[in-house]
Structure 1
Amino acid sequence: MWRASGQLFVHVARKRILSGPWDRPAAFMSTLLINQPQYAWLKELGLREENEGVYNGSWGGRGEVITTYCPANNEPIARVRQASAADYEETVKKAREAWRIWADIPAPKRGEIVRQIGDALREKIQVLGSLVSLEMGKILVEGVGEVQEYVDICDYAVGLSRMIGGPILPSERPGHALIEQWNPVGLVGIITAFNFPVAVYGWNNAIAMICGNACLWKGAPTTSLISVAVTKIIAKVLEDNKLPGAICSLTCGGADIGTAMAKDEQVNLLSFTGSTQVGKQVALMVQERFAFEDADLSLVVPSALFAAVGTAGQRCTTARRLFLHESIHDEVVNRLTKAYAQIRVGNPWDANVLYGPLHTKQAMSMFLGAVEEAKKEGGTVVYGGKVMDRPGNYVEPTIVTGLDHSASIVHTETFAPILYVFKFKNEDEVFAWNNEVKQGLSSSIFTKDLGRIFRWLGPKGSDCGIVNVNIPTSGAEIGGAFGGEKHTGGGRESGSDAWKQYMRRSTCTINYSKDLPLAQGIKFQ
């Protein structure tokens, strides 16, 4: 969780500025996927060809209109009217007013509302997961799984709503009670990225709500329909319970709205997920994984495959670097190359497909640029490296060997399915290489050596926020705190004690005696 101090710059794909409200030729409207029979299910989510992208108890929006596109075929899906500066100010005002009502509701009753939100998401899990696949581009099973993650965190938050609180501490003074009191911070701003357009919001929203906060959400412009659909589900629950809809407000927008949220002192806490270009506080990571000579290769290869190419390499926890002991390097690279050749590529809505498109054409350009730079720095592309000859934003999953561990491209964030593979000789060397980058979200080691495992987990081991053993870097459970270190930020979301970040702590001393003893035995008379 971070209060961003500088401006936020968010990429908006294919923005269209219109001269008047929904001023679009009929011919264009007929090409929208939402108007085609096979996509009629989109209307089950309350979506239309023209959608309002501001919610603060009522729907509206006076900003620019964008068209969102399907990465699998680059066809337009529908349009969203974004928030204007005036919309933003009005929404913040209404959200803060709603917070005053929400904060007075007992935490267990807030948990009941979150339980209902989870149930409402369950009812729409397939259709909402399909929208994630359609607008973001990840395969269908991952789209549905992302909605399931929001459902799971709602379930977790319901139980937490009856457990949050501080301890009663022993006071050194007779007749005194010493307690810790936790209170909501107020308005929590949530800025999410395109790659997990539902789950990351869910992590923040469910926990922030049971802690007594109101939420203001700005999703990625390229996944605006998802933001609208999720908010419609939540809004109905709030309205059915006669609660202010502004408790969970939405302002779709680009850099202007993100900047406003980052600078706005009325936003008490800001959770931001995005690229290092947007803010060093929280970054999409260059992740790492390595395997020692005693590693079980039957675990290493499938783990590396999933971590490197799952979601087409667009996860925060995607594996970017693979360190292999010199004794197993060639064999693992050979196995990985064969495994890459078997990846089923295609339409992300096909249940048999494992690998879909990149989210935007800009991502394709970044992929090609990174491959060329890797070659210039001495790398060898042993698999992939090209754009696929098919409609949509498809690139070949890529393996690069032969680079030095300190090569600049290796240390540069590239949100694409490129895996850099390195040889190492010993533990000290590879632990140092693991920690030399500025990012530090997720890491994993493959070994059977118990001593090495605990050195990896210890003070001289991995400096990442997520430190795994014999499993992929991707696929974190909701029960643990999720977050990183260094340029990744120090904040945590989801489980464990991450709830504390959505609250402010007070140490309270209550004198219920008739005397006035001072701490540390001080006499002042």
Structure 2
Amino acid sequence: MTDIAVRTLQILDRLGVGDPFEPGGELVSRSPIDGSELGRLRPHSPAEAAEVIGRAHAAFEQWRVVPAPVRGQFVRELGGLLREHKDDLGALVSIEAGKIVSEGLGEVQEMIDICDLALGLSRQLHGLTIATERPGHRMMEQWHPLGVVGVISAFNFPVAVWSWNAALAFVCGDAVVWKPSEKTVLTALACQALATEAARRAGVPEGLSAVLVGDRAVGEVLVDDPRVQLVSATGSTRMGKEVAPRVAARLGRSLLELGGNNAAIIAPSADLDLAVRGIVFSAVGTAGQRCTSLRRIIVHESIKDDLVARLTAAYETLSIGSPLEASTLVGPLIDQPAFEAFGAAVAQAEADGGKLVTGGEQVDVEGGGFYVRPAIVDMPAQTDVVKAETFAPVLYVLTYRDFTDALTLHNDVAQGLSSAIFTLDVREAELFMSVVGSDCGIANVNIGTSGAEIGGAFGGEKETGGGRESGSDAWRSYMRRSTNTINYSTELPLAQGVEFG
């Protein structure tokens, strides 16, 4: 057993997770750091998955009548446990997903932050009082718990995405059944262990939070079960196009957070020192495996050479290696298919006339794993490979002369998640954020495309799916609305002046 595997067992023990090597375990968990086997788990059968959903539904029927501020105490307990175990859970994220230490810890901090937000929200799930045309009447809206929420998450944010959904769903009065990526099951089991302890302390109904271990077959049970009122799915656009019709076929709700092909416009007035820092983190953070990773920069021709030279110099200083080393800035790709997709994208870009400026090669790291040097490719045009999302650190450089052309180039992709502009021109900044500017769900000025805070709703348009999670009014996705009219008069006037009788 490798040192990483031993450390994983120790962390899991402290987090309250049982032995990850189960008898008959078919689902193998491996670390992308060196390929170490971390556990062998027995997947749920479709029948077992249905039973888990049934228990969640029964728990929901009890939980929905608990006052929302009382429900908030469950999330408060969960947030406290996350604070207590932040270092261990962050390390487990690094081990299982390959994130560098600060990103692993940052993801757990994001969980803590959303628990804080949800706790406050538990006292603010307010409706509206609406003016009515009928005398002696009052009209209002109320929000009620929705039901069982199914969460399907991807490997790249193995814990934060669950918490965005779960923290809000719990205070909204819902139960949560989580189907994590097969690549990051141990982090999910660790979160569930903490949720179970928080539930015990808060006196929560058993089964309110659950994890399903398995592959596509288990996910299909979650998607197709009519007791699951909302399916919140994070992953590829291809996956979303399969999930959405199946949920719609039973008239359920879906919340989709899918692919991104994020760009930053670099204007002539840009502070290039600031731009370089924002670009590099957005492009190479998590080894380019974020849905908000920067894939394209659209730079004005007058500053292109200067910017590319600065980026090249920055890229050549990047430390690549084990994410458990404090000095590392770029860790491994998640697996071999990701490595092959990286190589194929660089090769296709060159075949399309692109010039490889820096990077693009595999990096040998002691112990194994799929490590690469992040690539910058200068492209003559926005070809098909540029328009496709490659989940790896490939940054394409495109050039513009007129700002209107830059906006057209920016929006000429199927995805619409995150975007940025670096400019000191207030007109360009305002235009970028206007209705004729970026068509993305997130539009930033003088910061990169990744690293969103939980206070704002997170999500995108077009093939990104249109969903919104985390802050702002995203909580409404997890509740149902009831419009109520109360007649306290002795008359029965009808709306719109209708006479009947």
Task: Pick the TM interval, shorter chain.
Answer: over 0.9
Q: How does 1:3-402 map to 2 (within 5 A)?
A: 30=1, 33-34=4-5, 36=6, 40-50=10-20, 65-280=26-241, 282-390=257-365, 391-402=368-379
Equivalent-residue separation in structure 2 for 1:38 and 1:189 (angstroms): 28
Contact 2:90 2:108 in 1 (8 A): yes
- What SS is found at the alignment partner of 2:127? coil
- What SS is found at the alignment partner of 2:107? helix
Equivalent-residue separation in structure 1 for 2:32 and 2:390 (angstroms): 18
Amino acid at match of 1:75: S
Q: Note the residue ranges of structure 2 that are not aligned, 5 or more in a row.
A: 242-255
Contact 2:74 2:204 in 1 (8 A): no
Aligned equivalent of 2:247: none
Of 438, 442, 449, 1:462 maps to 438
Contact 1:70 1:77 in 2 (8 A): yes
Equivalent-residue separation in structure 2 for 1:311 and 1:475 (angstroms): 11
Aligned equivalent of 1:497: 473
Equivalent-residue separation in structure 2 for 1:39 and 1:504 (angstroms): 42
User: How far off is 1:245 after superposition?
Assistant: 2.9
User: How far off is 1:39 after superposition?
Assistant: 5.6
Q: CA RMSD in A?
A: 1.5
Change (3 A) 1:149 1:63: farther
Equivalent-residue separation in structure 1 for 2:330 and 2:69 (angstroms): 42
User: How far off is 1:91 after superposition?
Assistant: 0.4
Contact 1:388 1:394 in 2 (8 A): yes
Equivalent-residue separation in structure 2 for 1:320 and 1:304 (angstroms): 10
Bigger CA drift: 354-363 or 131-140? Answer: 354-363
Provide Cα deviations, 1:144-200, integer angstroms capped at 9, x if missing partner: 110110110000001111011211112211111100011111011000000001110
Equivalent-residue separation in structure 2 for 1:118 and 1:359 (angstroms): 28
Alignment coverage as a number of residue pairs: 485
Provide Cα deviations, 1:487-519, integer angstroms capped at 9, x if missing partner: 101110000000011111121111122110111
Amino acid at match of 1:519: A
Contact 1:317 1:442 in 2 (8 A): yes
Amino acid at match of 1:511: N
Bigger CA drift: 190-199 or 262-271? Answer: 262-271
* Percent of matched pairs sharing the same residue: 46
Contact 1:374 1:403 in 2 (8 A): no
Do residues 508 (structure 1) and 484 (structure 2) align? yes
Contact 1:49 1:79 in 2 (8 A): no
Contact 2:32 2:98 in 1 (8 A): yes
Provide Cα deviations, 1:106-149, integer angstroms capped at 9, x if missing partner: 00001111111100111100000000000000001100110110
Equivalent-residue separation in structure 1 for 2:239 and 2:44 (angstroms): 20
Q: How does 1:424-463 map to 2 (within 5 A)?
A: 424-463=400-439
Equivalent-residue separation in structure 2 for 1:522 and 1:160 (angstroms): 41
Equivalent-residue separation in structure 1 for 2:477 and 2:33 (angstroms): 38
User: How far off is 1:31 after superposition?
Assistant: 5.6
- What SS is found at the alignment partner of 1:215? strand
Equivalent-residue separation in structure 1 for 2:406 and 2:148 (angstroms): 43
Bigger CA drift: 340-349 or 188-197? Answer: 340-349
Change (3 A) 1:241 1:112: closer
Q: How does 1:466-477 map to 2 (within 5 A)?
A: 466-477=442-453
- What SS is found at the alignment partner of 1:101? helix
User: How far off is 1:81 after superposition?
Assistant: 1.8
Contact 2:416 2:460 in 1 (8 A): yes
Equivalent-residue separation in structure 1 for 2:480 and 2:381 (angstroms): 46
- What SS is found at the alignment partner of 2:176? strand
Change (3 A) 1:37 1:249: closer
Equivalent-residue separation in structure 2 for 1:236 and 1:48 (angstroms): 14
Aligned equivalent of 1:416: 392
Equivalent-residue separation in structure 2 for 1:314 and 1:427 (angstroms): 29
Equivalent-residue separation in structure 2 for 1:423 and 1:130 (angstroms): 40
Equivalent-residue separation in structure 1 for 2:29 and 2:284 (angstroms): 24
Change (3 A) 1:387 1:469: same
Equivalent-residue separation in structure 2 for 1:362 and 1:515 (angstroms): 70
Provide Cα deviations, 1:58-104, integer angstroms capped at 9, x if missing partner: xxxx9962121111111111222221111101001100000001101
Amino acid at match of 2:272: L
Change (3 A) 1:331 1:33: closer
Give TM-score, length-normalised by structure 2.
0.94
User: How far off is 1:46 after superposition?
Assistant: 2.5
- What SS is found at the alignment partner of 1:245? coil
Equivalent-residue separation in structure 2 for 1:207 and 1:224 (angstroms): 22
Contact 1:80 1:225 in 2 (8 A): no
- What SS is found at the alignment partner of 2:311? helix
Change (3 A) 1:37 1:94: closer
Provide Cα deviations, 1:332-375, integer angstroms capped at 9, x if missing partner: 00100000011111211111211110111111111111111111
Contact 1:64 1:84 in 2 (8 A): no
User: How far off is 1:524 after superposition?
Assistant: 1.6
Amino acid at match of 2:381: D
Q: Note the residue ranges of structure 1 that are not aligned, 5 or more in a row.
A: 1-29, 53-61
Equivalent-residue separation in structure 2 for 1:349 and 1:456 (angstroms): 39
User: How far off is 1:520 after superposition?
Assistant: 1.9
Aligned equivalent of 1:8: none
Contact 1:113 1:237 in 2 (8 A): yes
Give TM-score, length-normalised by structure 1.
0.90
Contact 2:8 2:92 in 1 (8 A): no
Contact 2:455 2:471 in 1 (8 A): yes
Contact 1:321 1:419 in 2 (8 A): yes
Change (3 A) 1:204 1:331: same
